[in-house]
Amino acid sequence: MIATSLPQLASLAPEPASVPQAALAAAPQAAASPELRQLKEDLAQLKQELQQLKEIPSALASLRQSVDQLAGSQQQIAGTIAKLGTRQQQLLHKLATPPPRPTPAPKPVTQPQSEVR
Q: What is the enclosing helix (H) or strand (E) of 83? A: helix 21-96
Amino acid, single-letter form, for residue 24: L
9 touches 3 (CB < 8 A): yes
pLDDT tens digit sequence for 100-109: 788 877 777 7
Q: What is the DSSP letter of 5?
A: H
Q: What is the enclosing helix (H) or strand (E) of 4? A: helix 2-5
Amino acid, single-letter form, for residue 41: E
Mean pLDDT of 12-36: 62
pTM recorded for the entire structure = 0.43
pLDDT for position 1: 47
Using only the alpha carbons of the chain, give its radius of gyration: 53
